[in-house]
Structure 1
Amino acid sequence: MDYQRLIDRIDDAIVNRSKTVIVAFLLVTVLFVGGLGSITTESGQEQFIEDLPSFQAVEEIEEDFSPTFTEETTSTTLVQESNNVLAKPALIDMLKTRQRILTTGELRADSVSTPAETVATKLDPSATTPEEHLRAVERATPTEIDAAVREAADEEASFTNRVSDDFNRRTASASAIRGTVTHIAGPGEEPSGGPGGGVDFPPDRVDRINSIAHDEGSNIWVQGTPPDTTGTTTGLVLPAALLLIVIFLAVAYRDPVDIGIGLLAIVMTLVWTFGFIGLVGIPFAVLLIAVPPILIAIGIDFGIHSINRYREERVRGLGITDAMVRTTDQMTVAFAIVAGTSAIGFLSNTASAFPPTRDFGIVAASGIVFTFLIFGVFVPATKITVDRARERYPIPTVSNTPLGSESSPLGQLLSVGVTVSKRGPLVFLVLVAVATGGAGMYATGVDTGFSPDDFQPSEETPAYLQSLPEPIRPPEGFEYVRINNYLDENFQQDDQVLMYIEGPMTEDSALEEIHRAGRSPPPTFRTDRRQAESQSIITQLQSRAERDPEFRALVDRHDVDGDGIPDRNLPQVYDALAEPADSDLSNVLGEERGSAQVIYTVDGEADDEVVTEDAYEVADRFRAEAQPTGSVIIFEEALSLVLDSVIDTLVLTLIGASGFLVFAYWVLEGRPSLALVNIVPIVVTVVALVASMRALGIAFNAINGTILAIAIGIGIDYAVHVVHRFIDEYHERDLYPALQRTVVGTGGALTGSMLTTVFGIGVLVLALNPALGVFGSLISLSVLYAYLSSVFLLPSVIVLWERLATDEGTPLPLVDALIGAVTRRRPSAAGE
């Protein structure tokens, strides 16, 4: 394949029509600017789980078991804390707060459920209004209140779930209780949508409730919806990244004009990528916050290599045109290889089970292509235009020298890898192979995780962030997270498993089947007299039968085996149960009676994996199709997909990148074996990265599950630059002189690129989302490992490749000496 013809056409456009190229790229930039206004955002963990069968079951439950014309609702959590929140003063605080919430129209409160209301009802069973509940407590003596608390604890299972773990029945005391406010959403508001969803309506409900809370004898806290830190994080990360980029560009270029060219190219890359997101309709989610730093880092890597190589040629005495042609001849090919392998690495994420990860792969791969075009064509065209202008006009040139020289401290440090490759490459590679094998065994113990906590900021933001300017300064802390942590530490964490049953519920055996499934449940299920604690059509039926003799007689007539569960003429039973002024069946029985929902209470302290296994055990007891769901099931199933996604993307990346490199080096050099040389440092990098994750206690999750594909995509960048530069030098020089020029020349640019990338992406540690901060740290670590392996390990790999794949027979001193010693010893031994 005559690829040089294409390179020549690119060279011709850059050096002979540079101004036309610049104008064309600026016009395309304007086109992408039009897409910026169409960008939408998406937050929360729901985006990662929406394709799971268990999550889809939640959506089907909401569709089947919500009345057709009901109003959508949102909820707010109230937490009351005191020395004894079940004492009279604290109960009065909560009941007065409840009364004010219900009478404040702007809050659109439909109900306020608290343990204080339960105690008031026990004191006065006839009390039905907030005023009557408050009056019952105000008139009661402490002894009567204590007795009512004990009665509530004995008779109401929900009561003990809403008081803190230190609840003492004997003294009728506890340090905290929690309650729930249900708000009727406004016109056009969407439902909460399951785990991770929820609408913030009314938008100011937390502040309004705080302003009317009565807290003379206690403290009342209000918890709204989880904080969305996407915008705040972006405002923190991008300015910090750009600041560090400018600093490192100043060090790398040491020329203000070249710095300006680099910054303009970065801005164009971001505009193209964000414009692409808006034009194709991909929502900007938390994982996409990592894309700009990645593209900035790779773009600067391209820019530093391009400018540095151009300066090398200029220092050697070539003119502007010849130096740029020589530069683009080599760098365009190297950039194409890097862009191809990196894009493959990112696109492998489209095999992920998580939609945001698939979007990330598409956006990052597109961004890499944009980076290649802008830094491979636009930057050289702009650079040559500026340098020609410098010859005609008095535009100052601060520095025109490349990074790294053989006599510089950096050049001497970089030469260490070449020295090792001369003296003992095979021994060094054996030691690296042993160390990599050991690290690989250790890395197999890395953990996986998927939790809502991955998406929440810390309770308090670091103090140093409070010194930032007001527009990008995050809040000092997040009240939602503080209250959430308090609830986790002080309350029994019961969870729910929702069982979605699809099948005709009018069959005679339908209710018996639900009843049998809940008998002698697994250990993680809460029980009530050997029956699973649940809410279902059966519990509504039993509750009605207890208070309605006529309905109980109807049940008995249709109960063949006498167990209290009707097993014939079920439509007649349902019709009687759903009569006006009686129970609403819409939350337990489908509208067409072709499905049912059973809500089981499970131990919130139990391991999610065990709860999930137990839930599927119960599901298997149904003859009808039964799908367990709920937050525990959803996140456990998501967790099981994390490792699968990591492995899938890793395998696809390795296969795809290796195949691309084999093809590229076969076309370019006729030596496909060079692909193996490229892959060796990447394998070392990936193993070292995963081993570091285990050592640092970092688990794979839905966000950092892309890290291995990214490590390969970015890491190949470094190896490709070294190998391609070596081949270019090897055409004109012997092995070791070619290696020396490669490592010092390209290694200098790699050093600048590495520092820029590590710190540019490392700013993600500022992210308020903890998983995103870890993600940035891992990318920086992978880049550091890729740099070290490319500069210090790759020379020895190249020497071994040259010995095995060519006819040059370059000596390997230690190996040749060992072979010579053995050869000389054998005749002597034979003579004896």
Structure 2
Amino acid sequence: MRTRPLRRCIDFVTEHNRITLLVMVLLTGVVLAGIPQLNTGSQAGGTAADFEHLDRVQASQHIEDVYRADEHSQSNRTLATVYVHQPDGNVLSKPALRAELEFQQTLREDDAVGRALHPDGMTGIANLVATRAAGDRAASLEEQLAAVKSASEQEIRTLLRETVTDNPRAGRLLPADFAGETSATDRRLLIALDTGVDQDVYEDARNAIFETANDRDASGYFTLGGPAMEAANSHFTGEMVELVLPLALLLIVAILAFAYRDLVDVIVGMTGVVLSVAWMFGLLGWLGVSAGVVIIAPVVLITGLSIDFGFHVFNRYREQRAAGADRAPRTDEREADATRRGEDAGIRPSMNRGVRLVATALVLVTVTAAIGFLANLANPLPMIRNLGIAITLGVASALLLFVTVVPALKISIDGLLERVGFDRRKAPLGHGRYLRPALERTVTLARRAAPVVVIVAVLLGAAGGGAWFALDQESFQQGDGEVADWKQNLPDPIGWDRHAYYDRADHVEETYRPASAADATRTQILLDGDVTGGGTLAGIADGIDHLESASLLVQADAGGVESPLSALRRVADRNATVAAMVDRADSDGDGIPDRNVARLYDALYAADSDLASRVLERTDGEYRSALVTVSIDAGWETQDTAVTEMETAAAAMVDGSDRTATLAGPFSVNQAVVADLVAGILLTMVLALAAILLTTMGVFRAMHGSATLGAVVAVPIALVVGSVIGTMYLLEIPLTLLTALLMSLVVGVGIDYNIHIGDRFADERRAGTPTIPALRAAVTGTGGALVGSTLTTAGAFATLTLVPHPQLVSFGSIVVVALVTAFLVSLLVLPSLLVLWDRHAAASVTVGDRTQTGVSATQD
């Protein structure tokens, strides 16, 4: 590996700082022009082909290819629901019902709603009562309103009792525990929208429904659809920006100010950080990579890595100035010219040598981080691939900016200030009277007890890594909007308020069941094998009974279940021949046929082939599979419980027979995909570790003459990963898509600190410094920058734990643990490994000055 091109670049930057700044300003303008082209849409989903090796995905594909159930279950309508909740009122009174009809009138007057409204129209308890009052089921809305206005309160109560008793549709519109009274605190209105209209019209209609209901908030009207959720998310983001972002920025600036103790270095360093993030988004825009679901993670990670780069560049520069590099004999004619121009040429050699010394470590950090991040390109999910691309672009941008813009800007400002009389020499980080002794103690520990330190570290890392298989797995961590009291009691504008959406969502979940089986979540169980055996239909009945006993089914007797058994019963109700065959096939009188099942299927096809084709697969007269479709009362937040119950039901349908039962609904497929992704990320993490190990060994062999030294530097990443996994287990942080992704990112950032200390140690050894003094110089010289970087980045991530959302709390916690663990490993474990390596390695690093020779000759 040659360093000459890198050295020439550094020479140009430090000698021509103004030209460098001009060029980089122009280049930055070009890069940032890509930001307006940035695609912020979500691309989180994969395709079925990406997961076709999964049984549940195969079953879903088989159902789609063979069965016609989807054709019948799909509809060109969707329901928008408006809820009315009056805790101290009666939503079934005459004024309340009249108000609902007037609400419907207002909606119909909206152009978008009128164009998007499905022929099924709007259905509320007010409509059912009003049409009865008008004596015409087809009465127009105006006629309904007139009928309600003319009826007395007593007549309305009588009509309401009749409606609830006679019309089963009324039950969908009232609370699940409604017992036929004439008063209630809750009701809902179902609005059917046509999904076949233009997408913009459809979205405008949903927004109009949300806004119209919101205008009647005082009367208890509200919605929980997409616009309401977007409003809650917007409120959440605003609260986070007002509370968390200022605190994170304040913390970062405060730590930088304490570490640098120099306003110029804080400003220059933050300039590099901001530009790194901006470049990342600009490059994403030019490359057409979506940033819709990868905005948070790259920003915070690139901010942390950029701050780390800045600490090392400034620290090496300060060390060189303190060592008198600026007072070295001037051998370069260009430096003499600079002196004659009245510039402080002493700043340039200090920056030149400082950046040269740290550049190799920065390049290696960038390369190893990129390997860890780009390993995610093998993942089938676009979201994960985009995450790897975004962070890699950000890290590469940070490297370029911190070896060009930051040094050039620093030289320019320091030169200007020194010409007007300000001394710009600053003490290096890590050399304070409190920090330096603490850092030196880690070297003493390595010198006295290196084997013990390594053994303890390996045991702890192995114990933590073993907890991977004990972690809970969830698709995502559902936030409930709960906000701690102290956050709500903060003075405005930083006080955090719980949005009404979450209370309303909880209330609706407790109060209502799905509006109908057709509108509930539909999931399938595919039966393969001997589906004509005598126990097939009994097994299906047992599985359905389990789901019903678990209160998971919606309208089990009214379209909530579709199976060969329900199809036979439906046809038998209207076909005497089939009914007689069903009775004869029931040998034990339990109402479930248990013999001649194939003949029953034939009769079903003969009587209603359309219905039969939705529950049975028949090829050349042979029955190959059967399909059970159920409507379940569950949401994404309860999907794990629902899938567990479905698995139990599927097992009951098999019950020791030659049949197989495979879940194929959205929840079960999602669960299988998440498990597969977690396993894939584990494999990606292992491969990334191996790639980083080989890369570090190759670079250290080329630069320092020792591949084994590179291995010693890289191996502690495994300890970091193990510690993070163990901490997740102790903190009960589950493996979700996000936390599993973070585990792969830990590989990319976990080696950062080790590289800086290992590279500095090799430099000192090559200069002829004995082992312990070389280690002391590496730890105290580089350790100060690591302390500042850890405090700044971990502190910023720690502010995420203030956000009242478990997913973001987990995100912040994992990154903080990873950063702190990486820091501790680099200062406590790596020095011990370096001591052991120096004692037992077959050959040591080449003695010589890397910045002068460029390449070492001795290799092990």
TM-score normalised over the length of structure 2? 0.75
Pairing 1:410–2:435 present: yes
Matched position secondary structure for 2:3: helix
Q: Is the 8 A contact 1:223 1:479 kept in 2?
A: no
Per the alignment, residue 270 of structure 1 pairs with 277
Per the alignment, residue 383 of structure 1 pairs with 410
- The CA deviation at 1:663 is 1.4
Alignment of 1:406-805 (within 5 A): 408-442=433-467, 444-451=469-476, 453=478, 457-458=481-482, 463=487, 467=491, 476-491=497-512, 496-499=521-524, 519-522=541-544, 523-524=546-547, 526=553, 533-534=560-561, 600-602=630-632, 604=634, 607-613=641-647, 630-731=665-766, 732-765=768-801, 770-805=806-841
- The CA deviation at 1:51 is 6.5
- The CA deviation at 1:268 is 1.7
Distance 2:731 2:49 in 1: 31
Distance 1:323 1:642 in 2: 49
Pairing 1:255–2:262 present: yes
Matched position secondary structure for 1:703: helix
Q: Is the 8 A contact 2:255 2:792 kept in 1?
A: yes
Distance 1:556 1:566 in 2: 15
Q: For each residue in 1:545-564, what CA deviation from the matched residue of structure 2 results, as whole angstroms up to 9, or x when unmatched?
A: 98xxxxx6xx6799995799
- The CA deviation at 1:354 is 3.0
Question: Where does the alignment leave 5 or more consecutive residues of structure 2 unmatched?
Answer: 327-346, 584-592, 594-599, 618-624, 845-860
Distance 2:86 2:272 in 1: 56
Q: Is the 8 A contact 1:338 1:720 kept in 2?
A: yes
Q: Is the 8 A contact 2:122 2:189 kept in 1?
A: yes
Q: Percent identity?
A: 25
Distance 2:165 2:129 in 1: 9
Distance 1:222 1:729 in 2: 67
- The CA deviation at 1:327 is 1.6
Distance 1:283 1:369, change over 3 A: same
Matched position secondary structure for 2:404: helix
Q: Is the 8 A contact 1:273 1:366 kept in 2?
A: yes
Q: Is the 8 A contact 1:346 1:362 kept in 2?
A: yes
Q: For each residue in 1:594-633, what CA deviation from the matched residue of structure 2 results, as whole angstroms up to 9, or x when unmatched?
A: x999852235378133245368779999x99999655423
- The CA deviation at 1:252 is 2.6
Q: Is the 8 A contact 1:290 1:776 kept in 2?
A: no
Q: Which amino acid aligns with 2:107?
A: T
Q: Is the 8 A contact 2:85 2:187 kept in 1?
A: yes
Distance 1:174 1:695, change over 3 A: farther
Q: Is the 8 A contact 1:461 1:475 kept in 2?
A: no
Q: Is the 8 A contact 1:761 1:779 kept in 2?
A: yes
Per the alignment, residue 322 of structure 1 pairs with 349
Distance 1:667 1:371, change over 3 A: same
Q: For each residue in 1:375-422, what CA deviation from the matched residue of structure 2 results, as whole angstroms up to 9, or x when unmatched?
A: 13332233234444445x3163465221121x6101111122111112
Distance 1:433 1:191 in 2: 61
Matched position secondary structure for 1:402: coil
- The counterpart of 1:400, out of the listed 414, 426, 435, is 426
Q: Which amino acid aligns with 2:104?
A: I
Q: Which amino acid aligns with 1:486?
A: H
Alignment of 1:20-35 (within 5 A): 20-35=19-34
Distance 1:240 1:301 in 2: 20
Alignment of 1:151-166 (within 5 A): 156=168, 163-164=174-175
Q: Is the 8 A contact 1:499 1:626 kept in 2?
A: no
Per the alignment, residue 821 of structure 1 pairs with none
Per the alignment, residue 97 of structure 1 pairs with 100
Matched position secondary structure for 1:249: helix
Per the alignment, residue 828 of structure 1 pairs with none
Range with bigger deviation, 662-671 or 199-208: 199-208
Distance 1:686 1:242, change over 3 A: same
Q: For each residue in 1:705-745, what CA deviation from the matched residue of structure 2 results, as whole angstroms up to 9, or x when unmatched?
A: 21122222112111111111111112221111111111111
Distance 2:803 2:729 in 1: 22
Q: Is the 8 A contact 1:682 1:712 kept in 2?
A: yes
Q: Is the 8 A contact 2:461 2:720 kept in 1?
A: no
Pairing 1:300–2:307 present: yes
Q: Is the 8 A contact 1:163 1:177 kept in 2?
A: yes
Distance 1:377 1:206 in 2: 51
- The CA deviation at 1:336 is 0.9
Per the alignment, residue 223 of structure 2 pairs with 222
Range with bigger deviation, 309-318 or 172-181: 172-181
Distance 1:346 1:182 in 2: 45
Distance 1:600 1:433 in 2: 51
Per the alignment, residue 580 of structure 1 pairs with none
- The CA deviation at 1:427 is 2.1
Per the alignment, residue 3 of structure 2 pairs with 4
Q: Is the 8 A contact 2:89 2:185 kept in 1?
A: yes
Q: Is the 8 A contact 2:754 2:830 kept in 1?
A: yes
Distance 1:256 1:443 in 2: 44
Distance 2:6 2:462 in 1: 41
Distance 1:186 1:643, change over 3 A: closer
Matched position secondary structure for 1:40: coil
Matched position secondary structure for 1:371: helix
Distance 1:389 1:213 in 2: 62
Distance 1:184 1:270, change over 3 A: same
Matched position secondary structure for 2:428: coil
- The CA deviation at 1:683 is 2.1
Aligned length: 760
Matched position secondary structure for 1:524: helix
Per the alignment, residue 337 of structure 1 pairs with 364
Q: Is the 8 A contact 1:689 1:782 kept in 2?
A: yes
Distance 2:477 2:190 in 1: 20
- The CA deviation at 1:119 is 7.7
- The counterpart of 2:385, out of the listed 326, 343, 358, is 358
Distance 1:599 1:104 in 2: 35
Distance 2:288 2:7 in 1: 37
Pairing 1:188–2:215 present: no
Q: Which amino acid aligns with 1:792?
A: L
Range with bigger deviation, 169-178 or 319-328: 169-178
Question: Where does the alignment leave 5 or more consecutive residues of structure 1 unmatched?
Answer: 193-198, 503-508, 547-551, 578-584, 590-594, 809-832
Distance 2:46 2:98 in 1: 38
Q: Is the 8 A contact 2:127 2:144 kept in 1?
A: no
Distance 2:194 2:541 in 1: 37
Matched position secondary structure for 2:403: helix
Distance 1:49 1:389, change over 3 A: farther
Distance 1:624 1:122 in 2: 52
- The CA deviation at 1:302 is 0.6
Q: Is the 8 A contact 1:497 1:628 kept in 2?
A: no
Q: Is the 8 A contact 2:33 2:282 kept in 1?
A: yes
Q: For each residue in 1:672-707, what CA deviation from the matched residue of structure 2 results, as whole angstroms up to 9, or x when unmatched?
A: 112332234322222221221122221121222211
Distance 1:657 1:481, change over 3 A: same
Matched position secondary structure for 1:600: strand
- The CA deviation at 1:20 is 3.0
